[in-house]
Amino acid sequence: MKLALFSDLHANLHAFDTCLAHARDQGASSFAVLGDLVGYGAYPGAVVDRCMALEQQGAIVLR
């Protein structure tokens, strides 16, 4: 099992999606988001929605 860790997303949806895709391509099957979901980026709602969806699939999400 590979665990992908994410932090300091700061509402950067495009970077988060790219990193998620890369983690999956590398075989990650578990995810943890370690905070700072929003801040100064352009897509706070979309990033929170994406994190909530991951959480429903078993990811650890720290707010």
Return d(Cα 59, Cα 48) in angstroms, integer: 13
User: What's the mean pLDDT in 39-51?
Assistant: 96
Q: How many domains does the chain have?
A: 1
User: What's the mean pLDDT in 15-21?
Assistant: 98
Q: Note down the domain range covering 11.
A: 2-62
Q: What is the pLDDT of residue 35?
A: 94
Which amino acid would we find at residue 24?
R
pLDDT at 25 over 90: yes
Q: Which residues pair with 11 in a beta bridge?
A: none
Return d(Cα 48, Cα 23) in angstroms, integer: 19
The DSSP H or E segment spanning 5 is strand 2-6
pLDDT at 63 over 90: no
